[in-house]
């Protein structure tokens, strides 16, 4: 099972590497020209292009790039003058902090909201939660971020508006990033719990004299979690993409600001390194989600074994 | 094995000891259940159970028989307080001298510990992601019994329900069991709280024919050994004939006839029972072909006026369309809700 997923993962990584290779080169702008600035002569640009290996035919560049990637060599950042992956790994912890905090917020808040709403579908709490989650999902992240800064940093002066240093700095960007994710988890949990609460085994649980809370937490929740786990796994990947925008709003020194700089400066190696790293992380998360899914559902566990 | 002792020591029993009461274990008296019409306006309801009365004496099996839509399942669900949301009830369910339909009923003490239920489809009725053993033992665990004791009790319960190798099988999940084994596990689960009344809603309908007879025999022997009362809901006359002491025949939410099972099936006192018996091969008739019941069953949503059975009844006349027949005792222990019961019934 896991072996097969890993094999598929290798193909996915190859695809991601190829797509990003084409996209960075298809985007207008010449790295050498951008780096040397408007005063550079044609000879200077040509020399730098040759040094970077960008004068070779595209196919030759591609084969060399894949070969390097296989040896875990992700190239030099011509702007930073050091290995691209080194720069990426330097920024990774900040992004991981941000996405993990956002995930924790989204899972806790989303599960709680979804459980309360789903245990009494059509009730007052359910209607408020449903309306709120639609709102949360529709607001663009950058707008939510700016609104939170206006309210909590500039208005109430409770939290820093940007930068890093203390845990307080983490609050606004993490909450901003968690907003749409919370909505997704809450809506999915709600529908999943509502569905589970209609199952005959819930009636059986009630017939044992359990309280509604015991029925909900002891019988409905476990089965409701199965789809939620999958979505959390998949969405964490998307969250790293969302982090790019949030990091720029809050001047958070993670992968997001690094990759925006790199794209602006046509720093191919860095863009490729970031992309491959995120693709790898998403792949691992998906496998983890699949394994958890199997752990949670004994019916699939049996199938997987046989 | 620890035998029947296991269930007898249940701690909850002391708290819910039988208050002294006269009469049957359960008396259903003029039970009425109204459900909201599925796509009707607010307040628009259907009377799915309409004035049903019968007794379940301690230690007896009462068969509740009828076609779909006769209100038999709703009657059983109301006894354990598991009617659908927004259902409203009337009449009385007198359980050990106390009316369960009063709002102060603590259903959590009643369910499982005094009255428990076996459902039609054991695969759907068991939680797919919890082991059989945990599900059977849950009620004991929640009552605060120590782990080792719960484990012993579960093994004993599964053993008595005829699950082979219970020590190993208690760790299985429902999907790893066959249909018959699942229903045995369901029976063990229902017995775990040592109830005095077992509700069984079509307990064999979802099973293979060969398994059906074995499950019925098991229910019968457990019921006798433990002196349980059982309310067996079924559409299958043969099931009633095998298992029930008393039978209550329901039609369109009302009781058509009730009495001792053998007598009712052999010599019905209601044209509906007679037609029902004639429609089953080899229960009553020796003819090769059974007579199917003419027409389609009346449902509570469009219940005919007067006697609900009159459009399908060979004896129907004007009075049947106008006047709802009340149940009356046509012979000792034999009750029939037919204006012309004497024309059907030969004492």
Three-state SS sequence of A72-134 = CCCCEECCCCEEHHHHHHHHHHHHHHHHHHHHHHHHHHHHHHHHHHHHCCCCHHHHHHHHHHH
Q: Are B317 and B332 in contact (CB under 8 A)?
A: no
- What mean pLDDT do residues B101-126 have? 93
Instruction: Reduce the secondary structure of chain A to three states and give it as a string.
Output: CHHHHHHHHHHHHHHHHHHHHHHHHHCCCCHHHHHHCCCCCHHHHHHHHHHHCCCCCHHHHHHHHHHHHHCCCCCEECCCCEEHHHHHHHHHHHHHHHHHHHHHHHHHHHHHHHHHHHHCCCCHHHHHHHHHHHHHHHCCHHHHHHHHHHHHHHHCCCCCCCCCCCHHHHHHHHHHHHHHHHHHHHHHHHHHHHHHHCCHHHHHHHHCCCCHHHHHHHHHHHHHHHHHHHHHHHHHHHHHHHHHHHHHHCCCCCHHHHHHHHHHCCCHHHHHHHHHHHHHHHHHHHHHHHHHHHHHCHHHHHHHHC
Chain A: closest CA distance from residue B175 (Å): 7
Residue A76 within any structural domain of the chain? no
Number of domains within chain A = 1
Q: pLDDT tens-digit profile of A169-191?
A: 888 888 989 988 999 999 999 99
Model pLDDT, residue B11: 42
Residues above pLDDT 90, as percent of chain A: 19
A62 within some domain = no
Whole-angstrom distance, CA of residue B195 vs CA of residue B201:
16
CATH code at position A293? 1.10.3720.10
Choose the closest CB to A207 out of B109, B111, B128: B111
Q: Summarize the confidence of residues B174-203 as an average pLDDT.
A: 94
Least Cα separation, residue B40 to chain A (angstroms): 17
Question: Nearest chain B Cα to A201, which residue?
Answer: B125
The residue that leads in pLDDT, A256 or B308, is B308
Full residue range of the structural domain in which residue A279 is found: 85-305
* Residue A45 within any structural domain of the chain: no
Token pair for residue B189?
A: 């689960």
CB-based contact B82 A297, cutoff 8 Å: no
- Angstrom distances, CA of residue A91 to CA of A5, A80, A177: 28, 14, 18
Q: What is the mean pLDDT of residues B125-130?
A: 93
Contacts of B142 in chain A (CB under 8 A): 208-210, 214
A295 interfaces chain B, CB cutoff of 8 Å? no
Res. B8 pLDDT band, cuts 50 70 90: very low
A207/B190 touch (CB, cutoff 8 Å), yes or no: yes
Q: B126 to chain A nearest CA, in Å?
A: 5
pLDDT at A205: 95
């Amino acid at each position: 099972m896991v072996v097969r997923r890993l094999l598929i993962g290798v193909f996915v990584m190859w695809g991601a590497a190829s797509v990003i290779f084409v996209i960075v080169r298809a985007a207008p702008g010449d790295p050498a020209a951008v780096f040397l600035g408007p005063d550079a002569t044609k000879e200077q640009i040509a020399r730098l292009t040759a040094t970077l290996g960008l004068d070779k035919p595209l196919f030759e560049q591609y084969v060399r790039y894949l070969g390097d990637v296989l040896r875990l060599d992700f190239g030099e950042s011509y702007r930073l003058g050091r290995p691209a992956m080194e720069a990426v790994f330097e920024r990774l912890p900040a992004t991981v902090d941000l996405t993990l905090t956002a995930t924790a917020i989204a899972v806790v808040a989303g599960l709680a909201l979804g459980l309360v709403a789903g245990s009494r579908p059509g009730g007052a709490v359910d209607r408020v939660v449903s309306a709120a989650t639609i709102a949360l999902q529709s607001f663009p992240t950058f707008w939510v971020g700016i609104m939170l800064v206006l309210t909590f940093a500039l208005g109430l002066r409770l939290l820093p508006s940007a930068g890093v240093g203390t845990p307080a700095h983490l609050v606004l960007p993490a909450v901003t990033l968690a907003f749409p994710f919370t909505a997704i988890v809450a809506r999915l949990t709600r529908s999943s719990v509502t569905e589970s609460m209609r199952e005959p085994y819930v009636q059986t649980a009630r017939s044992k004299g359990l309280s509604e809370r015991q029925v909900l937490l002891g019988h409905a929740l476990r089965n409701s979690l199965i789809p939620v786990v999958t979505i959390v796994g998949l969405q964490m990947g998307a969250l790293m993409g969302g982090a790019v925008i949030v990091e720029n709003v809050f001047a958070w020194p993670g992968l997001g600001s690094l990759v925006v700089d790199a794209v602006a400066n046509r720093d191919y190696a860095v863009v490729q390194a970031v992309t491959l790293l995120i693709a790898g992380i998403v792949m691992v998360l998906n496998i983890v989600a699949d394994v958890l899914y199997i752990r949670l559902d004994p019916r699939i566990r049996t199938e997987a074994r046989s | 094995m620890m035998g029947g002792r296991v269930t007898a020591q249940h701690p909850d029993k002391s708290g819910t000891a039988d208050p002294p009461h006269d009469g049957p274990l359960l008396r259903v008296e003029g039970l009425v259940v109204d459900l909201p019409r599925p796509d009707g306006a607010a307040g628009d309801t259907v009377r799915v159970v309409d004035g049903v009365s019968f007794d379940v004496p301690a230690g007896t099996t009462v068969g509740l028989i009828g076609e779909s839509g006769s209100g038999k399942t709703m009657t059983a669900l109301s006894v354990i307080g598991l009617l659908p949301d927004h259902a409203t009830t009337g009449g009385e369910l007198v359980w050990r001298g106390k009316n369960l339909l009063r709002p102060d009923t603590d259903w959590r003490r009643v369910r499982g510990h005094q009255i428990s239920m076996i459902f039609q489809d054991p695969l759907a009725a068991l939680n797919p992601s919890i082991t059989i053993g945990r599900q059977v033992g849950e009620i004991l665990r929640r009552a605060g019994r120590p782990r080792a004791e719960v484990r012993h009790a579960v093994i004993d319960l599964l053993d008595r329900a005829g699950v082979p190798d219970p020590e190993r099988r208690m760790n299985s999940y429902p999907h790893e069991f066959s249909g018959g084994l699942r229903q045995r596990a369901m029976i063990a689960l229902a017995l775990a709280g040592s109830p005095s009344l077992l509700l069984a809603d079509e307990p064999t309908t979802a099973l293979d024919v060969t398994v059906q007879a074995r499950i019925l025999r098991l229910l019968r022997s457990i019921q006798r050994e433990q002196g349980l009362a059982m309310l067996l809901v079924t559409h299958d006359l043969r099931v009633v004939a095998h298992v029930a002491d008393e039978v209550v025949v329901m039609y369109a939410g009302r009781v058509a006839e009730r009495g001792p099972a053998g007598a009712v099936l052999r010599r019905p006192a209601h044209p509906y029972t007679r037609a029902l018996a004639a429609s089953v091969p080899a229960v009553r008739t020796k003819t090769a072909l059974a007579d199917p019941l003419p027409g389609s069953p009346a449902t509570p949503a469009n219940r005919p006026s007067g006697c609900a059975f009159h459009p399908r009844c060979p004896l129907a006349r004007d009075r049947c369309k106008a006047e709802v027949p009340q149940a009356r005792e046509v012979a000792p222990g034999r009750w029939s809700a037919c204006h012309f019961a004497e024309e059907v019934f030969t004492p």
